[in-house]
Amino acid sequence: MLQALFFDLDGTLTDSQAGIVNSIKYSLNKLNLPQLDAATLKLFIGPPLLASYQKYCGLSANDAQQALTTYREYYTQQGIFENKVYSGIPAALGQLQQHYRLYITTSKPEQYAQQISDHFQLSQYFTAIYGASMDETRAAKSEIIAYAQDRTGFNQPQRLVMVGDRENDINGAHDHGLQSIAVTYGFGSPAELTAAAPSAFAATPMSLPQIVTQLDH
């Protein structure tokens, strides 16, 4: 029997593309860094931002930290709410909540994840929200899952499911022996998600309850 479901936030519960992309563009403009194409900007959504600034902008660790600080100038004032809940998510969470404990496990800083969940009325579905530390010393999805397991005391990984839209969600689940569901309506490409080899795929939010039921048998 499954005990709990761990949900990613960006690309799984909410379509956060506008706010994140606008925040990145703001940081690049302010720091006079080269602009990135739309496809590259989309790759920032999900994984830890410090690592993405280094990977896609070629920045040093120190310069990536400055870029992240600048990103947050826009994000905390405006970008955080340039966001919307995917259609079908509240209904799916309402169904799942009747049978399982639900948690958010995100590489977004925990305080931002809490703000977003409160603002979009998602907090009612979740027992707790686990996210990155503000300095991103805890940010990789594998680290967030370990942190969530430690806080919840759930030590039977086969009774947990990670739900996410990027390879780091699925790989993080593999790292700790969790089952996983890759949602294909988010920001991960089909090739990326297939290569990560999740336990199951979900094409829509409303298909999640049935897929979870199948994994629970």
> 159 is written with which tokens?
């009774």
Return the closest-CA partner of residue 144 out of 166, 125, 124: 166
Find the distance separating the first CA and the last CA of the chain, reported in whole Å: 7
User: Strands 84-85 and 14-15, how do they pair?
Assistant: antiparallel
Count the alpha carbons within 13 Å of 139 in the hemisphere toward its beta carbon: 14
8 is catalytic: yes
Query: What are 162's strand-pairing partners?
Result: 6, 180
Q: Determine which one of 8, 10, 15, 165 is catalytic.
A: 8
Return the closest-CA partner of residue 16 out of 52, 44, 57, 49: 44
- Number of C-beta neighbours around residue 210 at 10 A: 11
Please give the Cα distance from 8 to 166 (Å, whole number): 9
Please give the Cα distance from 113 to 9 (Å, whole number): 8
Q: Which helix (H) or strand (E) holds 90?
A: helix 89-97
Q: How many residues does the chain have?
A: 217
Using CB atoms within 10 A of its CB, is residue 22 exposed (0-12), middle (13-18) or buried (19+)?
middle
Residues labelled as active-site residues: 8
